[in-house]
Structure 1
Amino acid sequence: MTRAEANPLITRLSPPPIPSVHAWGRAYDGRRGPLIDLSQAVPGYPTHPEMLRLLGEAAASPDMTGYGPIEGEPVLRKAYAHHVGAVYEADIGSEHIHITAGCNQAFMSVAIAVAASGDTIALTDPYYFNHQTTLSMLGIDYSLVHCDAANGFLPDLASAETALVAGARALVVVTPNNPTGAVYPKGLLHALFRLCQSHGAWLIVDETYRDFLPEGDARPHALLSEPGWEETLVLLYSFSKSFCIPGHRLGAITAGPALVAEIAKVMDNMQICAPRAPQTAVAWALPILADWRAGNRREIAHRAEVLRKVFADLPEWEIGAIGAYFAFVRHPFAGQSSAAVAERLARQAGVVCIPGSYFGADQENYLRLAFANADAASIALLTDRLR
C-alpha cells in the first residue's frame, strides 16, 4: 500500500512561529515575576464597550446570517473609502475597496491575483514571516530587497531595482514595519512607487499599523495622488489593531477597480465573503470611535518611549529600529542563535519575544519585541529582566 503524501510546498514550511514561542513562555516558572508577553502583535488593552455593543447588535441580526457581497458589505466599503479618502486627501470610492477576513487574507488574495506559481515577488529583508510562507505555499518565488541596519532597516533602492529588473511581479513593503517598526519616509515610498511603475510591477504596501504612526503626520504618503496609481499600487489594512478585534478577522484592500474585480474571483473561492457582522459594526464605529483610537495611538507612543528608556539603561543592547507596535533589538550574545536567546529569555526571565531568524536568515543578531502588547509598567520591568 502506498502512503498518501501531503503537499511538499506545505510540509517543507516550519510550524507556525507564535505557538512555538508561547511554549517557551509556558515553561517559565515565575521566578522573576509575571510573564511579559511581547510576542504576537495584539492590542494590550480591551476594545471599547461601544464596539462590543455594535458587534453584538450586528451579530444578532438575521440579515447577517446569509452570504454577503464578495467584495464586502456596501456600508463598510463606502465608509472605509470615505475614511481612506480623508486620510490621504484623495478621491477614493467604494469601487476601490475590497474587504477581507484579516490582512493576511488580503495579502494572499492579492498575491494570487498578481502572480502565478513560478513567478517572483520581492520582499524586504527582514520580511514579515506570513508573507514569506504565503508565497512559498503558493509556489511563488521570492527575492529579497536589502534593508541596511545602519540606516534603520529602510529598503535600499538599488537592491529593489535589481529585484525588479530580474522580473519580480511585485514589491511588498510594510510600513510601519513588521518586524522592525521602521516608518518609511514619504519620499522613499514615492521612489519605490515610481520604480515599480517604470518596471510594470505592483507596489503592495501593507499598512496594518498605519493608525499608530506618530501624531502630526497629516497623511502617511501621497501615493493615492500619483498619476496612474490604480495600475501600480495596492494598499493593505487591518481593522484588528485599531478596533481591538483581531478575533473577528477583518482587513481591507485599496486598489484599482480592475484589480478589485480579479481579487473578487480569488475571494469567491477562498471564503466567498468576509465575516458580515463585524463589517457592519466597524462601518458604524469608524466615525464614532475616532477619539478613542487617537487616545490609543498616544498610549502606544508612550509605551515606545518607556521602551527607549529601558534600553538607554542597557548599553549592551541596541534598538535597531522602533515604531508603531514593534522594536527590532540587537541582543548582546554574539555567536548564539536568536532562537536560543529568545528561548532562554522566555524560560529564565519570563520575557516572550520572537527570534530575528524568523524574519530572515540574516537576522540572527536581533529579537522582535511587540511592545504594544504590554502596559508601560510591565515594559519598565524589562530593565531588570534583560540585565
Structure 2
Amino acid sequence: MTSRTQTTFAPPVMQARRWLADVTFSEDTPLINVSQAAPVDPPPEALRDAMAEALKDPETHLYGPVLGLPALRDALAARWSAQYKGRVKPENVAITSGCNQAFAATIAAICSDGDTVILPTPWYFNHKMWLDMSGVTAVALKTGPDLIPDVQAAKALITDTTRAIALVSPNNPGGVEYPAETLQAFFDLARAHGIKLIVDEIYRDFDSRDGPPHGLVSDPNWGDTLIQLYSFSKAYRLTGHRVGAIFASPDLLSEVEKFLDTVAICPSQLGQKAALWGVEHLDDWLDRQRREILDRRAAIHDNMPLLTAKGWRLMGCGAYFAYLEHPFAASSADLAPKLVSAIGVLALPGTMFTPADDSSGERQIRIAFANVDRAEITTLFARLASLDWPLATPTSPA
C-alpha cells in the first residue's frame, strides 16, 4: 500500500542542503548559496518593534478567525483594488499560513481524486508535490525557450477532468514575468472551459514593470474564474511567520475555510499583525527592497556575457531567479552536487523542476539571487565560468 506522501518526491531544497555535508569551504572560496529564494535577513527593525508591541496584546496569543483578521482582509482588499484597478472586497480575501498553504487550500476546494491541473514546466516543485499528495494529476505544459506558456498548447491539454491551470508570475523557477496579454489569454481560456485560473503572485512586489502586471481583476466578474495567491514572506521578510493570502470568490472561500479550519484553525495572529503593520507603514521600505532586487537582476545581465562566451544561455531572469542553460555533457542532477565541492556554489538543478520524462531539465540550473549582492553575483559568475567540464555535443540542425 502506498501512502499519499509516498506518491511524491523528497523536498528538493532539503535534499540540496545535504550536499553540504562533509564539505569544508575556505576563506578564499566561501559558500555562495543560491539554492533558496527565502530572504535570510530579519524584518526591518521598525516592524520587529511593532511585533514586540503586539505580543503584549492578550488576543495575539488566542485563536483568531479562520479566514484571517478582518483588519488585514480589509487592508488587502483596498490595496488589491487600487493596485489592480478592480473591485476586491474583504469577503474576497482569505489569510493563510503561507502561500504554499494557500495553494493547498485552493486545490482542496476545487479538486477531487482523479482530477487534473495543468502546470507549465519548469514548474514550482511544491505545487507538483501537493497535487501528487492530493490524488490530483499534474499535466505538464512544456514551455519554449522563452519559458512563456502557450495558450493554444494549454487548450489542447484540457479534458473533462481538468479543474484548473496554475501559473506563477513572476515565475519560480524561471524568473520570467508573464506578459499581461498572456495572462489575459489564459483567463479567457479558463473561463471558456469553466475551469479556474490560479495565478501565484508571491513575487509581485519585485516585478520590474510599473503599474498592474495584468488587468484580470478589472473584470467585474473576475471571481468566477480567477484565484490569486500571495505571501508576505518575501515582501516583509516574514518567512518564519507564515502569512499568505487567497483572493477568490466568497463561495470558493467558504470551501477554503473548511480546509483551513481543519489544518491550522487560524493563521498566526502575530504574523498577521506584522503583515498588517507592514501594509500600513512599509511602502517606502518595500520600494527600496524592490529597487535592490532589480539591481541584482541587472547584475545578472551585466555578468552574463562571461558565461555566454562559455556556452551558457540565460533563459529567464526576474524577481528572485535566473534560470540558466549550461553547456556541459552531464545532467544538471549530477552537476549541481559537484558545484558545491568544485567551486563552492549551491544551486538547484533543472531536473527538480521538470517531469522525470522531460530531459530539458538536465541542461538547466536555477540561481536564486535574493540573498547575494552585486559583488557576490560577479564572483558567482566568475566561478561558473571557470568550470572546464566536458561539453555536450552540439545538436545538429533538423
TM above 0.5, one fold?
yes
**Aligned mate of 2:198, from 195, 201, 204:** 204
- Cα distance in 1, alignment partners of residues 64 and 80 from structure 2: 22
TM-score by length of 1: 0.95
Moved more, 100-109 or 114-123: 114-123
Q: State the partner residue of 1:231.
A: 224
TM-score by length of 2: 0.92
Q: State the partner residue of 2:120.
A: 124
- Cα distance in 2, alignment partners of residues 27 and 83 from structure 1: 48
CA contact (8 A) 1:164 1:196 kept: no
Corresponding residue SS for 1:243: coil
Corresponding residue SS for 1:39: coil
Report the residue type matching 1:88 in the other structure.
Y
- Cα distance in 1, alignment partners of residues 240 and 326 from structure 2: 32
CA contact (8 A) 2:174 2:322 kept: yes
Q: State the partner residue of 1:19.
A: 14
Q: Deviation digits for residues 334-385 of structure 1, max 9, x if unmatched? A: 2x12121111111221111111000013311100100112122211101321
Q: State the partner residue of 1:329.
A: 324
- Cα distance in 1, alignment partners of residues 237 and 287 from structure 2: 13
User: How many Å apart are 1:80 and its aligned residue?
Assistant: 1.0
Q: Does 1:356 align with 2:350?
A: yes
**Aligned mate of 1:298, from 282, 291, 294:** 291
Given the superposition, is the C-alpha separation of residues 280 and 44 from structure 1 closer, same or farther in structure 2, using an over 3 Å criterion?
closer
Q: State the partner residue of 1:84.
A: 80
User: How many Å apart are 1:227 and its aligned residue?
Assistant: 4.0
Q: State the partner residue of 1:72.
A: 68
- Cα distance in 2, alignment partners of residues 291 and 339 from structure 1: 41
Corresponding residue SS for 1:154: coil
Q: Deviation digits for residues 129-150 of structure 1, max 9, x if unmatched? A: 000000001111111112112x
CA contact (8 A) 1:123 1:173 kept: yes
- Cα distance in 2, alignment partners of residues 64 and 265 from structure 1: 23
- Cα distance in 2, alignment partners of residues 233 and 383 from structure 1: 39
**Aligned mate of 2:363, from 362, 365, 375:** 365
- Cα distance in 1, alignment partners of residues 275 and 39 from structure 2: 17
Q: State the partner residue of 1:170.
A: 164
**Aligned mate of 2:237, from 234, 238, 244:** 244
User: How many Å apart are 1:204 and its aligned residue?
Assistant: 0.2
Q: State the partner residue of 1:338.
A: 332
Q: Which runs of 5+ in 1 are unaligned?
A: none
Q: Does 1:109 align with 2:108?
A: no
- Cα distance in 1, alignment partners of residues 93 and 184 from structure 2: 21
Q: State the partner residue of 1:61.
A: 57
Q: State the partner residue of 1:286.
A: 279
- Cα distance in 2, alignment partners of residues 172 and 28 from structure 1: 38
Corresponding residue SS for 2:362: coil
CA contact (8 A) 1:169 1:202 kept: yes
- Cα distance in 2, alignment partners of residues 265 and 137 from structure 1: 18
User: How many Å apart are 1:313 and its aligned residue?
Assistant: 1.1
Aligned alpha-carbon RMSD (Å) = 1.4
- Cα distance in 1, alignment partners of residues 86 and 171 from structure 2: 23
- Cα distance in 2, alignment partners of residues 224 and 163 from structure 1: 25
Q: State the partner residue of 2:374.
A: 376
Q: State the partner residue of 1:148.
A: 144
User: How many Å apart are 1:29 and its aligned residue?
Assistant: 2.3
Q: Deviation digits for residues 209-228 of structure 1, max 9, x if unmatched? A: 000001x4211111011242
Corresponding residue SS for 2:245: strand
Given the superposition, is the C-alpha separation of residues 340 and 380 from structure 1 closer, same or farther in structure 2, using an over 3 Å criterion?
same
User: How many Å apart are 1:298 and its aligned residue?
Assistant: 0.5
- Cα distance in 2, alignment partners of residues 270 and 9 from structure 1: 16
Aligned residues: 378
Corresponding residue SS for 1:164: coil
- Cα distance in 2, alignment partners of residues 381 and 26 from structure 1: 23
Corresponding residue SS for 2:234: helix
- Cα distance in 1, alignment partners of residues 327 and 47 from structure 2: 43
Moved more, 353-362 or 106-115: 353-362
